Structure 1
Amino acid sequence: MASPSGGESGSGAVPVCINEILTDDELRSILSKLDTEKDRELFGFVCKRWLHLQSSERRKLAVRAGTHMLIKLATRFFRVSELDLSQSVSRSFYPGVTDKDLYVIASNFRGLKVLHLQNCKGISDVGMIELGGGLSSLQSLDVSYCRKVTDRGLEAVAKGCHDLRRLQLAGCRLITDLALQSLSENCQRLEELGLQGCTSITDFGITQLVKCCKKIKLLDISKCSNVGDEGVSNVAKSCSLNLKTLKLLDCYEVKDESIISLATYCKNLETLVISGCKDISDEAMKSLASACGSSLRKLRMDWCLSISDCALSCILTQCRSLEALDIGCCEGVTDAAFNGLESGGVELGLKVLKVSNCHGITVTGIRVLLDKCRSLEYLDVRSCPRITKAVCDEAGLQFPERCKVNFDGSLSESNVYAI
């Protein structure tokens, strides 16, 4: 205890409780300076007042709780803005959150802005309608692999949550073009949309979406096999000023027209995934490299079987901001793709390069690349018969000190190196 004068307590000193001296704002200031989650939890053990303050400052909550516990959590953590109730894939057989739980969330977490519900198989349109009716401030919703969700539930969310900026619907195969039309009409601030594996989506739905949703920065329509050049071209035209990331993995109907539209309209494109788009030609990729050379940072084009040396050479010499490149299984690529690097004073900023299953690339090409790419952190040469560890050692290749080389798959690939 301290004396009122601030000196050491003596026999005549009057004990003063710290709670009588410090205001709530001062206690919040102390709480904000605690670095670890453990220390912040210990703060709440001091007394009921400190526990209440600690609870009121909590903004993010990740829990696995039933209906009654959710009500208690809402009472204690009444200022939470982000709630994560997602299930791991290993527990996806368990329904997890139910429609009844979503009713509790919509009724008690009114200020919620971010809600994660991945792999919650028990959710249906009934619960989604509750969210749309109660969470008007919601800005981010992830219901990936909630397979019971249909257009009806998503339409209710779109109509009730006009401030929605981020929506993840990966694996929701019952979603159709009607849902995208509703998003276009009601959620015009939408910036990120994930539709991976929504196989009922077509060019019509994508076109309807971007009629009003022109602020989209990230669009993932991977494995949407009914989306082709018409839909992608309309995205490029409508979202030209904002589009930064476009993922088209295994969109087999995407061809040169899509790439040329991106080159024409999307000068700020940073990430492009066209893996498995087998009909994209060298000429289309050369036009993209020329148009987006200063912006493109990540390019994944594995299994693009029509790509050859001239396109890759153009990408390497013109895309000066490129940090990650995947050309795995591009059978037409050889060492000749790197020849253009020798003559010029090109210094590559590549950190990740994947050339797995490229049988035409040898240590000769890798040597040229290493000479021009000193910041390389990860090189994938799996299933390249002429690039083995023994061959590289014999040739005296010097890899950058921080570079991890994946020769045979024994090196686990971190998410850091994902494109």
Structure 2
Amino acid sequence: MVLPSIHLLVMKAVSSLRNLETLTLGKGQLGDSFFHALGDCSMLKNLNVNDATLGNGIQEIPINHDRLCHLQLTKCRVMRISVRCPRLENLSLKRSNMAQAMLNCPLLRLLDIGSCHKLTDAAIRSAAISCPQLASLDMSNCSCVTDETLREISLTCANLHILNASYCPNISLESVRLSMLTILKLHSCEGITSASMSAIMHSYMLEVLELDNCSLLTSVSLDLPRLQNIRLVHCRKFADLNLRSIMLSSIMVSNCPALHRINITSNSLQKLALKKQENLTTLALQCQSLQEMDLTDCESLTNSICDVFSDGGGCPKLKSLVLDNCESLTAVRFCSTSLVSLSLVGCRAITALDLACPSLELVCLDGCDHLEKASFCPVALRLLNLGICPKLNMLSIEAPFMVSLELKGCGVLSEATINCPLLASLDASFCSQLKDDCLSATTASCPLIGSLILMSCPSVGSDGLFSLRRLPHLTVLDLSYTFLMNLQPVFDTCLQLKVLKLQACKYLTDTSLEPLYKDGALPALQELDLSYGTLCQSAIEKLLACCRHLTHLSLNGCVNMHDLNWGCSGGELYEFPSKFSSAAVFSHENLPVSTEQPNRLLQNLNCVGCPNIRKVVIPPVARCLLLSSLNLSLSSNLKEVDVVCFNLCFLNLSNCCSLEMLKLECPRLTSLFLQSCNIDEETVEAAISQCGMLETLDVRFCQKICSISMGGLRAACPSLKRIFSSLSAS
């Protein structure tokens, strides 16, 4: 109710609703007669008055009722109040500005006088001790309260279980004995110091203790058998915490910059977070149930912390440990049978890591870029990435469940013992110090490796390659950027190989790949990458002619490649009958049939940046029935492209600035890229007219094709959905 005539309306309600049990009102003035009339509502049990003026503001307001159980007068303006309610159990006077409250409520169990700033210490004492059954008392923000009042309350209210004395600067708990307390809140109490802990120790039933913002508190030492929850937040001088409680299950310690020592004993604590305790140097735990520990940004912790979390250190069930950004750690060693997850992110000073944790499944080492020696023996890791540790030079791994190991970028790694019987993938890219003996030992102990990346491992030679015979499941091998001259060990031992990458292997000769196209080596090979190599044109032609089982071939940057002409047979260009139409060319009846040359399985051909290639001809006789992607971009001297390919979907000729002739019969082509090509619009229109499914055409920066030509291009190929030109995308 918010009307000015609230008193009249309430009086009418009281007189007409005699059986009313709950009445809530506020924001107005209630006269003395209203409270006298309450006695006529004999069934009333709950009365809530909020933000109201009681009486004329200077008189005493009596509230007398025989059945009232719950009375709430919040934010009310009144000089004095007198409450006589024999059945009243809950009374809240929160934020009301009365100077005195006389209570005669023998059954009252909950009293809230929080933020009643005008109540004197004597008035608070008189009100509280008049309620001998009091179990919960909130006197927060009552700045006049003293220890004398608390002592009187402790003597009178033997059943007091809950006390909130927060923001009471004059209390120190000196000689206060509240033995039955279960919850004690003392936020921002300037008088609470380390000496106050002796009084709290007498509250042997205490379960919850909150000491936030107690600015003079320097240490807490408590042995309370029932304590379950403690808070210590923003205690700027707090330096030492010593807790002993078998039931302790929650600890909140935050923003205590002086804290340097913690000793906790508990059988119930399962999670503990002590983040950003920058001066914490000593941590002792006897926590039999602790499973998760977070010490992020505790930058003063030293190597001795490892003993706390190792077997015998007091946390036998610990599963997760976070030590992120603990920058004082230099040598980390954990021996734990329970640890499952360990995070050392940002621990830049660590140079040595020794983990003997047979249950460890996850380890995070991001930012440990000074790590030099690492041992994982034994661990239960399935995946491990050490490529973020560029200074690692010694490694030992015993991981019976590991399937993937990445050492990419460990350029100074010279000693590695890897015992991972289930390892399926090993990436040792840029491990320039990795030698044959190490590779040989690894293949002996990890026989299930299927993918082996040795890119930029110049120390690997023939002896190391011969050890690959121990890997019967090897299907992917990357030897790019190595100094290998002889690949015979690979051809002899890797019979199941499907992917072979030999990018920039400058020391391979023109005969190095002869076993592939002469002897039928590596019969399962599907993908071959010879980019940036020095093979001659003849070797490339023989490879293209004979290795028809390849599905992906990359010849990017091959300077010795001059032409890609599959229209020649025995030195003569294959001629098709002039009567064949495009549809006839692709019919199975009219395709030239050769019993000696089966269909090629090639699907993807990349010849990016081949500076000397001038002509590309792929007619039906090449039998590239599965070719779907052809990339010839950045081949600056390419002048002529003539492709007849039934399944080609993607063709990239971007930056082929010398391109003059383009002939296409590719009925399934969907994307054609001609960016920065010096080709005229008539040639493009003729080419795309034979591509009935083309959707995307890129002619940006083609100087001979202007924006007004877009209509002609769409007319030549009605299926076009997107044309990218240098002026606009349409």
TM-score relative to the length of structure 2? 0.38
CA contact (8 A) 1:188 1:214 kept: yes
The answer to whether residue 270 in structure 2 is matched with residue 270 in structure 1 is no
Partner in structure 2 of residue 203 of structure 1: 510
Partner in structure 1 of residue 554 of structure 2: 247
Superposed CA offset, 1:260-300 (max 9, x none): 58x94552111122342745645xx233x443353111112
User: 1:170 Cα deviation (Å)?
Assistant: 1.6
CA contact (8 A) 2:417 2:438 kept: no
CA contact (8 A) 1:274 1:301 kept: yes
Partner in structure 2 of residue 82 of structure 1: 404
The aligned runs of 1:34-53 (5 Å cut-off) are: 48=338, 52=359
> Quick one: distance in 2 between partners of 1:347 and 1:230?
32
- Relative to structure 1, the CA distance from residue 50 to residue 232 in structure 2 (aligned partners, 3 Å threshold; closer, same or farther) is same
Q: 1:326 aligns with which of 652, 660, 683?
A: 652
Partner in structure 2 of residue 8 of structure 1: none
> Quick one: distance in 1 between partners of 2:392 and 2:613?
51
Letter in 2 for 1:170: S
Partner in structure 1 of residue 443 of structure 2: 132
Partner in structure 2 of residue 25 of structure 1: none
SS in 2 for 1:251: coil
User: 1:84 Cα deviation (Å)?
Assistant: 1.9
User: 1:347 Cα deviation (Å)?
Assistant: 4.5
SS in 1 for 2:417: helix
Superposed CA offset, 1:370-397 (max 9, x none): 99566645x5434411346x55679796
Superposed CA offset, 1:224-245 (max 9, x none): 21343235515642x43x3111
User: Percent identity, aligned pairs only?
Assistant: 19
CA contact (8 A) 2:320 2:339 kept: no
Q: 2:452 aligns with which of 137, 141, 155?
A: 141
- Relative to structure 1, the CA distance from residue 188 to residue 144 in structure 2 (aligned partners, 3 Å threshold; closer, same or farther) is same
> Quick one: distance in 2 between partners of 1:257 and 1:359?
21
The answer to whether residue 417 in structure 2 is matched with residue 104 in structure 1 is yes
The answer to whether residue 121 in structure 2 is matched with residue 121 in structure 1 is no
The answer to whether residue 476 in structure 2 is matched with residue 166 in structure 1 is yes
CA contact (8 A) 2:516 2:543 kept: no
> Quick one: distance in 2 between partners of 1:234 and 1:290?
17
CA contact (8 A) 1:243 1:266 kept: no
CA contact (8 A) 2:393 2:412 kept: no
Partner in structure 2 of residue 414 of structure 1: none
Partner in structure 2 of residue 187 of structure 1: 494
CA contact (8 A) 1:256 1:281 kept: yes
> Quick one: distance in 1 between partners of 2:509 and 2:551?
22
Letter in 1 for 2:413: T
- Relative to structure 1, the CA distance from residue 111 to residue 396 in structure 2 (aligned partners, 3 Å threshold; closer, same or farther) is closer
SS in 1 for 2:512: helix
Partner in structure 2 of residue 355 of structure 1: 674
- Relative to structure 1, the CA distance from residue 234 to residue 200 in structure 2 (aligned partners, 3 Å threshold; closer, same or farther) is same
Unaligned runs of 5+ in 2: 1-318, 322-336, 342-358, 363-378, 570-593
Partner in structure 2 of residue 384 of structure 1: 702
The answer to whether residue 608 in structure 2 is matched with residue 298 in structure 1 is no
Letter in 1 for 2:414: D
Q: Whose RCO is larger (CA < 8 A, sep 6+)?
A: 1
Q: How many residues align?
A: 327
CA contact (8 A) 1:140 1:167 kept: yes
> Quick one: distance in 2 between partners of 1:359 and 1:81?
51
SS in 1 for 2:405: strand
User: 1:255 Cα deviation (Å)?
Assistant: 5.3
Partner in structure 2 of residue 61 of structure 1: 384
User: 1:117 Cα deviation (Å)?
Assistant: 2.0
The answer to whether residue 526 in structure 2 is matched with residue 217 in structure 1 is yes
User: 1:400 Cα deviation (Å)?
Assistant: 8.6
Superposed CA offset, 1:161-203 (max 9, x none): 343211112211x111x2x111111111111111111111123
> Quick one: distance in 2 between partners of 1:273 and 1:396?
27
- Relative to structure 1, the CA distance from residue 201 to residue 387 in structure 2 (aligned partners, 3 Å threshold; closer, same or farther) is same
TM-score relative to the length of structure 1? 0.63
- Relative to structure 1, the CA distance from residue 370 to residue 144 in structure 2 (aligned partners, 3 Å threshold; closer, same or farther) is farther
Letter in 2 for 1:230: A
User: 1:254 Cα deviation (Å)?
Assistant: 4.0
Unaligned runs of 5+ in 1: 1-43, 88-94, 412-419
- Relative to structure 1, the CA distance from residue 279 to residue 67 in structure 2 (aligned partners, 3 Å threshold; closer, same or farther) is closer
The answer to whether residue 470 in structure 2 is matched with residue 152 in structure 1 is no
SS in 2 for 1:205: coil
- Relative to structure 1, the CA distance from residue 67 to residue 79 in structure 2 (aligned partners, 3 Å threshold; closer, same or farther) is farther
User: 1:325 Cα deviation (Å)?
Assistant: 1.0
Letter in 2 for 1:297: S
